[in-house]
Structure formats: C-alpha cells, structure tokens
Amino acid sequence: MTTQLEKPKLKKYSLSLHTTTPELGLAISNFAGETRTQVWDLGRDLSTYVHQYLVDFIAPQTWADLAFIAVAKGPGGYTGTRIGVVIARTLGQQLDIPVFGVSTLAAVAWSHIRDNNISKAIAIEMPAQRGQVFGAIYQPASHTGLTTLLADAVFTPEAWQETLANWEDSCQLIAAKSQLAATVTSILELAHLQWQQGKHPHWSEALPYYGQHPVDI
C-alpha cells in the first residue's frame, strides 16, 4: 500500500510585518483574492503604537485565523528590526504556528522581479551605518521565488563595487533607500511560496539579521 503525503493546507489568512525602518508595514492575505496592506510612518513612535495598529489591522480576522506569520528580519534599523522579530516570534509561540523570517533585501528584490517581470539576477544595496552598505544578490526561481546567490552581508563601498565588478554574470543593481515597508506584501508572498514547498519553520528559527553592531566597539 502506498501512502500519499498531503500538501500543507493553508488556513484562511496569513500575516506579515515590516518594522526595519521608522515605517510600519502590515499585510494580511488568504491567497484567494483577498489581500490587505497598509503602511504608517510612525517614526520614533513605532515601538509605542505597533501593537495597537496590529490589533486594529487584523480585524475582522482573528488570531485563530492565521496559518503563519512572516516578518522582515533585517537588515535595517536595530530597534525596529528587533521589535518586529520579537512580535512575530511571540505570536508564533502563542498561536503555535510557523514564523518565516524574510530578508529585507530579498523583499526588495522580489518586488522588482514581480512588478517588472525580471528574469536576470538582481543585486540589492542598502545604506548601512558608518559609511558601509548592505548587499546581496538574488536570482528569480520558479517555485521558491528567489534563489540566494550572495547572502546578505555588510561591505565597504569599495568592496561592494569590487564584488559587483567581479561577479561572473551580469545583474541588475537596485538601491533600497526608502519606503521599504511597502514591500511587506512581498515578504508575505515569499513566505507563502516557502509554505507551498512544505516548509513550516518553528518560531524560534526566526532570528534578526543586524549585520552591524548598533554602536562602535
């Protein structure tokens, strides 16, 4: 007798958060035609109001409706990144559902690939502290959305330019500078693609990526 494995069934909705900048981005979708997304520029008040905005945003759905949570894990601002990941992990633990940590740079790459029907590799750069830059290179992939060719890392501007110059294949360079929270829908989509591949990461696996220490040491 042959036992056939069932594909993971998605509950009604899934939620994503983006807090790596002073903006708060939230998205919820049932991946069946209903998606809501909203961005607020909260500045220094993000940590104060994020929970209330989240509670208001999720209605009329409830926490019990969620199949998984996705969160921007960085790079980005230290405090905002930490807040988002902690909230996602806490919800994942309390609801006993998977939590996907998605790179901020990967979300930017996916947004450009999806919106512009790009088939070549994309290099993403983002300003970091102390004159450095965050950089990564991603390749579109049919089932998972993206394949990581060069994982997120911090570079001096010179080292990043040298990396791009020596890269064996040409790639499109995208600068991620502002309005990054608007990619919160991309974070949700990338997580959903992983979900469809049968991945159910435990909430404890969602870890922030800072890249740099928040202060000089």
pLDDT digits 0-9 by tens, 149-167: 999 999 999 999 999 999 9
- All structural domains of the chain with their residue ranges: 13-103+179-205, 105-175
User: Which two three-digit tokens encode residue 116?
Assistant: 């512009």
Task: Calculate the alpha carbon distances from 26 to 31, 110, 173 in Å.
Answer: 15, 17, 27
Tell me yes or no: is domain 105-175 CATH 3.30.420.40. Answer: yes
> Across residues 36-41, what is the average pLDDT?
97
Q: What is the pLDDT of residue 148?
A: 96
Top-confidence residue, 212 or 198: 198
- Edge-to-edge strands, sheet with 35-41: 35-41, 23-29, 13-18, 66-72, 99-102
What is the CATH number assigned to the segment(s) 13-103+179-205? 3.30.420.40
Q: If you search the block for the tokens 């633990």, which residue do you land on?
A: 93
The overall pTM is greater than 0.85: yes
Q: What is the pLDDT of residue 126?
A: 96
The reply to whether 105-175 shares the fold of 13-103+179-205 is yes
Top-confidence residue, 158 or 1: 158
Please write the tens of the pLDDT for every residue from 83-97. 999 999 999 999 999
Please write the tens of the pLDDT for every residue from 116-155. 888 889 999 999 999 999 999 999 998 888 999 999 999 9
Phi, psi angle pair for 91, to nearest 5°? -65, -40
Q: How many other CB atoms are found less than 10 A from the CB of residue 104?
A: 27
Pairing of strands 122-127, 172-175: parallel
Cβ atoms of residues 101 and 204 within 8 Å: no
Cβ atoms of residues 160 and 133 within 8 Å: yes
